């Protein structure tokens, strides 16, 4: 059998993508054998998962694991080398305009013009969508109403982070992507954001998030996928991941799956040793 050429290869690729695009209204996002390489090195390696409508799905992994690249591919922002992706039953590359109206995105390192005021930015964002949410109500829910006339440059890091999450909700999306959603927020602000995400879940909004905070993942996620070097090394519910590890908390289980629990335990042992030494020194000083 001879080699395939030109159009045959393209037809096979189109067919592969088409096979991923289904009519299952219960599935919001489906990825099958996604592969993305940089200079021949895979950043995402044969990754597959599906996310049901109204589900909160967490993608976990260290920086450089391939999380952001995966999100960029799902959003059609980056071309991928293999596999297929479906978002709301559509090809994100071919149907970017249609998906734009249905998807909200809050990415790492969001940048806005500092001289814009908060209210102006919200108004500009709302103008991009056919049926936007009421941004004044969102400002109230995120406790940012008093900042409406303040310039972006006058916001703290935590306030900017809350604003970036709020802006992702202005499209009144069916699916929302939140990349490190509460980085830089204090405990009270994090809980405010969690409250809004639970409200979105009640509305059957699909939430795709990344986070380095395991308490956040436990509190919000229905299912998670742990990535390492571009691969899915463990996936399931939080309860399943903990059950299939030697530990009782997700943080320790996560490190175990990543192959780092020995280093973590050694660091804790060294820290405990230092504390014992300091305690002995303090006792010695007290005696003499």
In order along the chain (288 residues), what is the average pLDDT of each group of 10 residues? 45 46 78 95 96 96 94 94 96 93 82 87 96 96 95 89 93 94 85 89 94 93 97 97 95 94 50 48 44
Q: How far is it, in rounded angstroms, from Cα 50 to Cα 28?
A: 8
43 phi, psi to nearest 5 deg: -90, -30
Question: Residue 31: helix, strand or coil by DSSP?
Answer: strand
Give the pLDDT of residue 23.
54
Structure tokens at 10: 């393209």
Contact (CB, 8 A) for 145 and 117: no
Residues 6+ apart with CB under 8 A from 65: 227, 228, 229, 230
* Listed residue (129, 70, 140, 137) closest to 103, CA to CA: 129
Contact (CB, 8 A) for 179 and 210: yes
Q: How far is it, in rounded angstroms, from Cα 72 to Cα 102?
A: 16
- Give the distance, in angstroms, between the CA of residue 112 and the centroid of all CA atoms in the same chain: 20
């Amino acid at each position: 059998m001879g080699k395939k050429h030109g159009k045959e290869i393209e037809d096979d690729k189109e067919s592969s993508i088409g096979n991923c695009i289904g009519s299952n209204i219960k599935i919001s996002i489906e990825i099958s054998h996604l592969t993305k390489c940089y200079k021949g090195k895979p950043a995402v390696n044969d990754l597959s998962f599906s996310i049901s409508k109204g589900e909160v799905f967490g993608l976990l992994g260290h920086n450089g694991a391939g999380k952001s690249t995966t999100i960029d591919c799902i959003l059609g922002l980056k071309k991928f080398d293999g596999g297929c992706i479906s978002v709301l039953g559509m090809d994100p590359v071919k149907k970017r305009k249609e998906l734009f109206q249905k998807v909200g995105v809050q990415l790492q390192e969001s940048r806005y013009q500092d001289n814009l005021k908060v209210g102006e930015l919200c108004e500009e964002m709302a103008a991009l969508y056919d049926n936007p949410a009421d941004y004044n109500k969102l400002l109230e829910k995120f406790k940012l109403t008093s900042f409406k006339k303040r310039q972006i440059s006058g916001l703290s890091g935590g306030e900017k982070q809350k604003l970036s999450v709020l802006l992702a909700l202005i499209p009144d999306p069916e699916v929302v992507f939140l990349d490190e959603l509460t980085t830089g927020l204090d405990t009270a602000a994090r809980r405010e954001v969690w409250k809004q995400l639970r409200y979105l879940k009640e509305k059957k909004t699909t939430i795709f998030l990344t986070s380095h905070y395991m308490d956040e993942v436990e509190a919000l996620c229905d299912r998670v996928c742990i990535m390492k070097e571009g691969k899915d090394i463990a996936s399931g519910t939080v309860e399943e991941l903990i059950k299939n590890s030697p530990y009782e908390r997700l943080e320790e289980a996560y490190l175990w799956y990543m192959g780092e629990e020995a280093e973590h335990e050694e660091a804790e042992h060294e820290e405990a040793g230092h504390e014992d030494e300091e305690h002995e020194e303090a006792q010695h000083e007290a005696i003499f």
